Amino acid sequence: MSHNLTTRLQLSPEQEAIRAKCFHPTGTFVEFTKEEVEHSIPERFEKIVANFPNHLAVKTRHRSLTYEALNQTANRIARAILERRGKGSEPVALLFEHGIDIITGIFGIIKSGKYYVALDPSSPQERLNYILKDSDAQLLITNSHNLDFSRALSNDVRATLNVDESIDSFSSNNLGLSISPDDLAAIVYTSGSTGEPKGVIHTHRSSLHKLVDYVNDTGISADDGLTLIHSVSFGAAQTDIILSLLNGASLFPFDIKTEGIHSLAEWLKDEKITICHLPPTVFRQLAGLLSDQEKPAKLRLIFLSGAPITQQDFDLYKKNFSSQTLLQIGMGSTETGGICCAFVDQTFCFPEEGAPVGYPCPDKKVLLFDENGQEVGLGKRGMIAVKSRYLTMGYWNRPELTKITFLPDPNGANERIYLTADLGRILPDGFLIHLGRKDDQVKIRGYRVELAEIERALLSHPHIKDAGVVAWEREPGEKYLVAYIVPRQHPAPTISDFREFLRGKLPDYMMPSAFMFLDSLPVTNGKLDRTALPKPEGKRPELSQPYILHRSEIEQKLVQIWEEVLDIRPIGIHDNFFDLGGHSLAATRVVSQVIKKFQLEIPPQSLFQSPTVAEMAAVITEHQGKRLGEEELTSILTELESLTDEEAQKLLSDQTGTGQRRD
């Protein structure tokens, strides 16, 4: 079997049986054909409106629209846009709260033959200003609620259209404009958590092809109700909008920022939601709310996207949802749409390594490349790439970045290859396992470390609700790991408890040097925003034992050595060296400094056997009669200070006999 599978025709009988359970029990499913991709979004939408004019299209707690009403409002907005800007393709920005107005605005812009740029008013103003300037949108559509903010952003540079005041006089009839599948439909900006936001260009064809990816798999029908929880300024929301409103289903926007996560569980049951699309971070909170409540009876499918699923997520699914509710896992991006997906039930066996993301989506070939750009075979680790005709056009106003990221098909076919920067391995049956991101790999003391692997280990702890890991730089060329933990309970287990737990799962060089406890992790559209995590300030962490000041000159000198090596202040005499973030290489540095300051011959493994200042002081007192000569002192220090981390671990392991430290 080829490792660049393009279809699901070769799925196992078990996977086919699970997928067969996806369809709505009473709704009528209509397949989305490849021919329909070669049209425009308004053409497809108006076809759905004609079939379901009085069916519920979109609903919030305070307002709802039928398909006919949604279409009429969009037509009026489209005519208002054409009066302001005339015909022709150009970007038009929207600024609305999470709800119905932004949906009508999107369809109005697309119906006018232009393409939309959605802005989230809760985003930082600096980000919004950047997107407006980068997209060069000359018209900003908004409502009365956001009018003042819109005018402040426009700053008299671009026109503003208030839909609450300016559209009632326009006709509600369809416009009948000729729109090509190659015309632009949207510029969707990435989160920008690691730099300036990038605008990804979507055509009508690439947008409609998402329906091939999702409609035929989920078996969506007009009887389905879908959530809209992701911000409309991101690509995941575009999927929910077209998946529901281009198929006759009902869309239910829910704004977690204003309504709160605690009302989400009840809302799912009240609205009889059948398909719930969530980022894993929100899913974890939802599952916790459902633990003591009645399970949502109508929910037939949970779709998780935006971050890799963990064993903890799967366990929460099994514990808190009905056996009739399936879980859809997958992998995708704003640049590609869906890449892989799979449907699993509660009998699924979670892999020991990595995150499962499923089988290649239709018309997508999944390739794996090594560091030299050579394709690797089944079972081998490599960087994930996607080959397809239905990729987005690339990045707005960034031709060089587009050229680097989107490669031409070396065979000269009408396809391109997108390089994801994600790592993976393909199993013999074509199932893809996600192994983290290439840009989340860091070098720690000479070792290549994947932050996602440490996060997975942390999330397997029963008392950790959420976790993230960042590599901070202590000085040029020297990085250290910090784990950020959201505990399930208070008081949380001690740092010693967490270290002991991780010791059975991670090697020494992957052990975080510091642990920080947070109420929640910062996220951008459901993804961990590592840049927003606080940097440790070099303060003593919360330990199980109280801080005790030094009592003697020897202890005072040892505290100074520890504080210098670990860059933590203050350090108490009963604080465990390894709870403070010490590791093998740091241990040899401390021993080296102790030998130099006290000119004593002490075993290199002494810190492993006596990991507190008080215990080390006792060792020094014990060796007071073993002072070193100058030549011997120089020889020992030269050897210790030249050790690599691997050599330090080996030396300490050899001399302790077991390699285990007493902490």
Query: Any bridge partners for residue 203, and if so which?
Result: 184
**How would residue 210 be classed by pLDDT, with cut points 50, 70 and 90?**
confident
pLDDT at 214 over 50: yes
355 part of a folded domain? no
Do residue 577 and residue 521 come from a single domain? no
Query: For residue 633, what is the domain's CATH number?
Result: 1.10.1200.10
Give phi and psi for 489, each to the nearest 5: -145, 160
- Comparing C-alpha atoms, which of 418, 579, 402 is closest to residue 493? 579
DSSP 488-501: SSSSPPPHHHHHHH
Q: Give residue 660's pLDDT.
A: 36
67-85 vs 100-111: helix crossing angle, rounded to 10: 60
Q: Give residue 20's pLDDT.
A: 76
Do residue 526 and residue 573 come from a single domain? no
Average pLDDT over residues 362-387: 92
In the chain, the amino acid numbered 89 is: S
**How would residue 8 be classed by pLDDT, with cut points 50, 70 and 90?**
very low
Cα angle value 506/508/512 (rounded, 5°): 80
Q: Give residue 641's pLDDT.
A: 62
Do residue 650 and residue 561 come from a single domain? yes
Q: Give residue 653's pLDDT.
A: 53
Per-residue HEC secondary structure of 600-643 comes to ECCCCCHHHHCCCHHHHHHHHHHCCCCECCHHHHHHHHHHHHCC
86 part of a folded domain? no
307 part of a folded domain? no
Q: Which range among 7-21, 272-286, 476-490, 643-657 has the greatest average pLDDT? A: 272-286
pLDDT at 63 over 70: yes
Q: Give residue 657's pLDDT.
A: 36
Do residue 521 and residue 470 come from a single domain? yes
User: Regarding predicted confidence, which is higher, 309 or 608?
Assistant: 309
Query: Any bridge partners for residue 478, and if so which?
Result: 475
Average pLDDT over residues 156-166: 90
455 part of a folded domain? yes
Do residue 526 and residue 455 come from a single domain? yes
CA distance 436 to 331: 12
Q: Give residue 305's pLDDT.
A: 86
pLDDT at 162 over 60: yes
How far CA 83 is from CA of 70, 80, 112, 490, 652, in Å, comes to 20, 5, 10, 59, 78
Query: Any bridge partners for residue 343, and if so which?
Result: 328
Average pLDDT over residues 367-373: 91
140-144, 413-417, 636-640: segment of lowest average pLDDT: 636-640
Judge contact between 199 and 176, C-beta under 8 A.
Answer: no
**How would residue 494 be classed by pLDDT, with cut points 50, 70 and 90?**
confident
Do residue 586 and residue 518 come from a single domain? no
499 part of a folded domain? yes
- Number of structural domains in the chain: 2
Do residue 591 and residue 518 come from a single domain? no
What is the total residue count of the chain?
663
Q: How many Cβ atoms sit within 10 Å of the Cβ of residue 512?
A: 24
Do residue 593 and residue 517 come from a single domain? no
Cα angle value 237/89/69 (rounded, 5°): 50
Q: Give residue 651's pLDDT.
A: 58
Q: Give residue 307's pLDDT.
A: 79
13-27, 249-263, 336-350, 497-511: segment of lowest average pLDDT: 13-27
Question: Which three-class secondary structure state does DSSP give residue 205?
Answer: helix
Average pLDDT over residues 433-449: 77
As separate numbers, helices (DSSP H) first and strands (DSSP E) second, the chain gives: 21, 28
- Is 426 exposed, middle or buried, given 0-12, 13-18 or 19+ CB atoms closer than 10 A? buried
Q: Is the peptide bond before 13 cis (omega within 30 degrees of 0)?
A: no
571 part of a folded domain? yes
- Is 656 exposed, middle or buried, given 0-12, 13-18 or 19+ CB atoms closer than 10 A? middle
Average pLDDT over residues 147-158: 89
How far CA 653 is from CA of 153, 511, 616, in Å, comes to 62, 17, 19
108 part of a folded domain? no
Do residue 456 and residue 500 come from a single domain? yes
Tokens of 197: 């936001």
**How would residue 119 be classed by pLDDT, with cut points 50, 70 and 90?**
very high
Do residue 453 and residue 523 come from a single domain? yes
User: Regarding predicted confidence, which is higher, 248 or 451?
Assistant: 248
**How would residue 172 be classed by pLDDT, with cut points 50, 70 and 90?**
very high
Tokens of 336: 């590609």
How far CA 64 is from CA of 68, 258, 435, in Å, comes to 12, 18, 42
**How would residue 191 be classed by pLDDT, with cut points 50, 70 and 90?**
low
Judge contact between 227 and 276, C-beta under 8 A.
Answer: yes
Query: Any bridge partners for residue 188, and if so which?
Result: 200
**How would residue 405 be classed by pLDDT, with cut points 50, 70 and 90?**
very high
Mean pLDDT over the full length of the chain: 85
CA distance 276 to 273: 7
604 part of a folded domain? yes
CA distance 543 to 199: 45
Tokens of 91: 């970007």
Contacts with 156 (C-beta within 8 Å, 6 or more apart), sequence order: none
**Residue 36, CA atoms < 13 Å, CB-side half-sphere:** 22
Domain end position, chosen among 501, 532, 563: 532
The predicted model scores a pTM of 0.74
Query: For residue 479, what is the domain's CATH number?
Result: 3.30.300.30
Do residue 569 and residue 622 come from a single domain? yes
Q: Give residue 637's pLDDT.
A: 67
Give phi and psi for 219, each to the nearest 5: 65, 35
Question: Which three-class secondary structure state does DSSP give residue 60?
Answer: coil
Domain hosting 474: range is 445-532
Do residue 501 and residue 455 come from a single domain? yes
